[in-house]
Structure 1
Protein backbone atom coordinates (compact mmCIF):
# COMPACT_ATOMS: atom_id res chain seq x y z
CA UNK A 1 0.00 0.00 0.00
CA UNK A 2 2.86 2.41 0.70
CA UNK A 3 3.95 2.06 -2.94
CA UNK A 4 0.50 3.16 -4.08
CA UNK A 5 0.53 6.10 -1.66
CA UNK A 6 3.94 7.15 -2.93
CA UNK A 7 2.76 6.82 -6.52
CA UNK A 8 -0.24 8.99 -5.69
CA UNK A 9 2.04 11.73 -4.34
CA UNK A 10 4.15 11.43 -7.49
CA UNK A 11 1.00 11.87 -9.59
CA UNK A 12 0.17 15.00 -7.58
CA UNK A 13 3.63 16.42 -8.31
CA UNK A 14 3.29 15.58 -12.00
CA UNK A 15 -0.14 17.22 -12.05
CA UNK A 16 1.40 20.38 -10.59
CA UNK A 17 3.95 20.35 -13.42
CA UNK A 18 1.12 19.85 -15.92
CA UNK A 19 -0.54 22.97 -14.56
CA UNK A 20 2.57 25.00 -15.32
CA UNK A 21 2.96 23.36 -18.73
CA UNK A 22 -0.66 24.13 -19.54
CA UNK A 23 -0.14 27.79 -18.68
CA UNK A 24 3.00 28.01 -20.84
CA UNK A 25 1.32 26.23 -23.74
CA UNK A 26 -1.73 28.45 -23.57
CA UNK A 27 0.41 31.59 -23.49
CA UNK A 28 2.48 30.42 -26.45
CA UNK A 29 -0.55 29.52 -28.59
CA UNK A 30 -2.86 32.45 -27.92
CA UNK A 31 -3.85 34.38 -31.02
CA UNK A 32 -1.69 37.48 -30.57
CA UNK A 33 1.55 39.00 -31.80
CA UNK A 34 4.72 37.05 -31.00
CA UNK A 35 5.85 39.45 -28.27
CA UNK A 36 2.52 39.11 -26.49
CA UNK A 37 2.65 35.31 -26.76
CA UNK A 38 6.13 35.29 -25.22
CA UNK A 39 4.99 37.55 -22.39
CA UNK A 40 1.91 35.41 -21.74
CA UNK A 41 3.97 32.20 -21.86
CA UNK A 42 6.13 33.67 -19.08
CA UNK A 43 3.47 35.51 -17.07
CA UNK A 44 0.78 32.82 -16.96
CA UNK A 45 2.89 30.16 -15.21
CA UNK A 46 4.40 32.87 -12.99
CA UNK A 47 0.91 33.68 -11.69
CA UNK A 48 0.24 29.99 -11.04
CA UNK A 49 3.59 29.63 -9.25
CA UNK A 50 2.97 32.62 -6.99
CA UNK A 51 -0.53 31.47 -6.05
CA UNK A 52 0.66 27.93 -5.30
CA UNK A 53 3.70 29.12 -3.34
CA UNK A 54 1.60 31.44 -1.21
CA UNK A 55 -1.37 29.17 -0.55
CA UNK A 56 -0.92 25.57 -1.69
CA UNK A 57 2.68 24.41 -1.51
CA UNK A 58 3.22 21.10 0.26
CA UNK A 59 6.07 22.52 2.34
CA UNK A 60 5.73 25.79 4.17
CA UNK A 61 3.18 27.85 2.21
CA UNK A 62 3.02 31.47 3.35
CA UNK A 63 -0.74 31.24 4.00
CA UNK A 64 -1.62 27.55 4.45
CA UNK A 65 -5.18 26.62 3.59
CA UNK A 66 -7.24 23.97 5.37
CA UNK A 67 -10.69 22.51 4.90
CA UNK A 68 -13.00 24.02 2.33
CA UNK A 69 -10.47 26.76 1.51
CA UNK A 70 -7.91 24.13 0.45
CA UNK A 71 -10.52 22.38 -1.66
CA UNK A 72 -11.54 25.69 -3.28
CA UNK A 73 -7.89 26.54 -3.95
CA UNK A 74 -7.21 23.21 -5.65
CA UNK A 75 -10.45 23.30 -7.66
CA UNK A 76 -9.64 26.82 -8.87
CA UNK A 77 -5.94 26.10 -9.53
CA UNK A 78 -6.38 22.82 -11.37
CA UNK A 79 -9.64 23.97 -12.96
CA UNK A 80 -7.97 27.06 -14.42
CA UNK A 81 -5.14 24.90 -15.77
CA UNK A 82 -7.65 22.47 -17.28
CA UNK A 83 -9.42 25.39 -18.94
CA UNK A 84 -6.16 26.75 -20.36
CA UNK A 85 -5.16 23.30 -21.61
CA UNK A 86 -8.55 22.90 -23.23
CA UNK A 87 -8.22 26.28 -24.92
CA UNK A 88 -4.64 25.64 -26.06
CA UNK A 89 -5.17 22.12 -27.34
CA UNK A 90 -8.39 20.12 -26.98
CA UNK A 91 -11.20 20.37 -24.43
CA UNK A 92 -10.96 16.64 -23.74
CA UNK A 93 -7.34 17.14 -22.63
CA UNK A 94 -8.42 19.73 -20.08
CA UNK A 95 -11.23 17.52 -18.86
CA UNK A 96 -8.81 14.60 -18.52
CA UNK A 97 -6.37 16.71 -16.49
CA UNK A 98 -9.18 17.73 -14.15
CA UNK A 99 -10.48 14.16 -13.84
CA UNK A 100 -7.03 12.83 -12.95
CA UNK A 101 -6.66 15.57 -10.34
CA UNK A 102 -10.09 14.71 -8.91
CA UNK A 103 -9.24 11.01 -8.51
CA UNK A 104 -5.85 11.93 -7.06
CA UNK A 105 -7.50 14.29 -4.56
CA UNK A 106 -10.01 11.69 -3.44
CA UNK A 107 -7.21 9.16 -2.94
CA UNK A 108 -5.16 11.71 -0.98
CA UNK A 109 -8.11 12.25 1.34
CA UNK A 110 -8.94 8.54 1.72
CA UNK A 111 -5.31 7.57 2.37
CA UNK A 112 -4.71 10.43 4.81
CA UNK A 113 -2.18 12.19 2.60
CA UNK A 114 -4.17 15.42 2.75
CA UNK A 115 -5.98 16.81 5.73
CA UNK A 116 -9.15 18.80 5.54
Structure 2
Protein backbone atom coordinates (compact mmCIF):
# COMPACT_ATOMS: atom_id res chain seq x y z
CA UNK A 1 0.00 0.00 0.00
CA UNK A 2 2.93 2.33 0.63
CA UNK A 3 4.15 1.79 -2.92
CA UNK A 4 0.82 2.83 -4.46
CA UNK A 5 0.92 6.02 -2.38
CA UNK A 6 4.43 6.80 -3.64
CA UNK A 7 3.30 6.06 -7.19
CA UNK A 8 0.36 8.43 -6.77
CA UNK A 9 2.79 11.15 -5.67
CA UNK A 10 5.00 10.36 -8.67
CA UNK A 11 1.92 10.65 -10.89
CA UNK A 12 1.21 14.14 -9.60
CA UNK A 13 4.88 15.12 -9.95
CA UNK A 14 4.89 13.84 -13.55
CA UNK A 15 1.88 15.98 -14.40
CA UNK A 16 3.43 19.04 -12.81
CA UNK A 17 6.73 18.43 -14.56
CA UNK A 18 4.97 18.16 -17.92
CA UNK A 19 3.28 21.52 -17.38
CA UNK A 20 6.56 23.18 -16.49
CA UNK A 21 8.21 21.93 -19.70
CA UNK A 22 5.66 23.36 -22.11
CA UNK A 23 7.01 25.65 -24.81
CA UNK A 24 4.84 28.57 -23.76
CA UNK A 25 4.94 31.65 -21.60
CA UNK A 26 5.30 31.30 -17.86
CA UNK A 27 1.57 31.87 -17.16
CA UNK A 28 0.65 28.88 -19.34
CA UNK A 29 3.39 26.73 -17.81
CA UNK A 30 2.27 27.72 -14.33
CA UNK A 31 -1.37 26.99 -15.09
CA UNK A 32 -0.56 23.63 -16.69
CA UNK A 33 1.99 22.75 -14.02
CA UNK A 34 -0.57 23.29 -11.29
CA UNK A 35 -3.74 22.43 -13.18
CA UNK A 36 -2.76 19.01 -14.53
CA UNK A 37 -1.80 17.58 -11.11
CA UNK A 38 -4.88 19.16 -9.58
CA UNK A 39 -7.14 17.56 -12.20
CA UNK A 40 -5.54 14.16 -11.60
CA UNK A 41 -5.73 14.56 -7.81
CA UNK A 42 -9.41 15.50 -7.94
CA UNK A 43 -10.19 12.60 -10.27
CA UNK A 44 -8.31 10.19 -8.01
CA UNK A 45 -9.93 11.56 -4.86
CA UNK A 46 -13.46 11.48 -6.24
CA UNK A 47 -13.30 8.06 -7.89
CA UNK A 48 -10.28 6.03 -6.73
CA UNK A 49 -9.36 6.82 -3.13
CA UNK A 50 -10.39 4.53 -0.28
CA UNK A 51 -12.90 7.21 0.79
CA UNK A 52 -14.03 8.07 -2.73
CA UNK A 53 -17.01 10.42 -2.98
CA UNK A 54 -18.32 8.36 -5.90
CA UNK A 55 -17.92 4.66 -5.20
CA UNK A 56 -17.37 2.70 -8.39
CA UNK A 57 -17.59 -1.02 -9.12
CA UNK A 58 -14.15 -2.70 -9.05
CA UNK A 59 -13.58 -2.95 -12.82
CA UNK A 60 -14.66 0.65 -13.43
CA UNK A 61 -12.46 1.91 -10.59
CA UNK A 62 -9.55 -0.04 -12.05
CA UNK A 63 -10.21 1.57 -15.43
CA UNK A 64 -10.15 5.08 -13.94
CA UNK A 65 -6.92 4.28 -12.09
CA UNK A 66 -5.38 2.93 -15.29
CA UNK A 67 -6.49 6.05 -17.18
CA UNK A 68 -4.86 8.28 -14.56
CA UNK A 69 -1.54 6.43 -14.70
CA UNK A 70 -1.57 6.16 -18.49
CA UNK A 71 -2.13 9.90 -18.58
CA UNK A 72 0.83 10.43 -16.25
CA UNK A 73 3.02 8.18 -18.38
CA UNK A 74 1.94 9.97 -21.53
CA UNK A 75 2.62 13.37 -19.99
CA UNK A 76 6.14 12.27 -19.04
CA UNK A 77 6.67 11.01 -22.58
CA UNK A 78 5.43 14.32 -23.98
CA UNK A 79 7.87 16.11 -21.68
CA UNK A 80 10.68 14.18 -23.35
CA UNK A 81 11.03 11.32 -20.87
CA UNK A 82 9.30 8.27 -22.37
CA UNK A 83 11.24 5.66 -20.37
CA UNK A 84 10.32 7.08 -16.94
CA UNK A 85 6.75 7.42 -18.23
CA UNK A 86 6.66 3.75 -19.18
CA UNK A 87 8.27 2.80 -15.86
CA UNK A 88 5.59 4.73 -13.97
CA UNK A 89 2.81 2.86 -15.75
CA UNK A 90 4.60 -0.49 -15.44
CA UNK A 91 5.22 -0.06 -11.70
CA UNK A 92 1.56 0.82 -11.17
CA UNK A 93 0.45 -2.25 -13.14
CA UNK A 94 2.78 -4.57 -11.21
CA UNK A 95 1.73 -3.08 -7.87
CA UNK A 96 -1.94 -3.38 -8.79
CA UNK A 97 -1.47 -7.00 -9.86
CA UNK A 98 0.37 -7.85 -6.62
CA UNK A 99 -2.28 -6.14 -4.50
CA UNK A 100 -5.07 -7.88 -6.37
CA UNK A 101 -3.33 -11.24 -6.01
CA UNK A 102 -2.92 -10.61 -2.28
CA UNK A 103 -6.65 -9.98 -1.97
CA UNK A 104 -6.51 -6.22 -1.39
CA UNK A 105 -9.46 -4.21 -2.74
CA UNK A 106 -9.11 -2.68 -6.18
Residue 21 (structure 1) aligns with: 13
Shift of 1:55: 0.3
* 1:100 pairs with 2:91: yes
Unaligned runs of 5+ in 1: 1-8
Residue 114 (structure 1) aligns with: 105
Consecutive aligned runs of 4 or more in structure 1 exceeding 6 Å deviation: none
CA RMSD of aligned residues (A): 1.0
Structure exhibiting the larger radius of gyration computed from Cα positions? 1
> How many corresponding residue pairs?
106
Residue 31 (structure 1) aligns with: 23
Q: Compute the TM-score of the two structures, normalised by the length of structure 2.
A: 0.94
Q: Compute the TM-score of the two structures, normalised by the length of structure 1.
A: 0.87
Shift of 1:89: 3.5
Unaligned runs of 5+ in 2: none
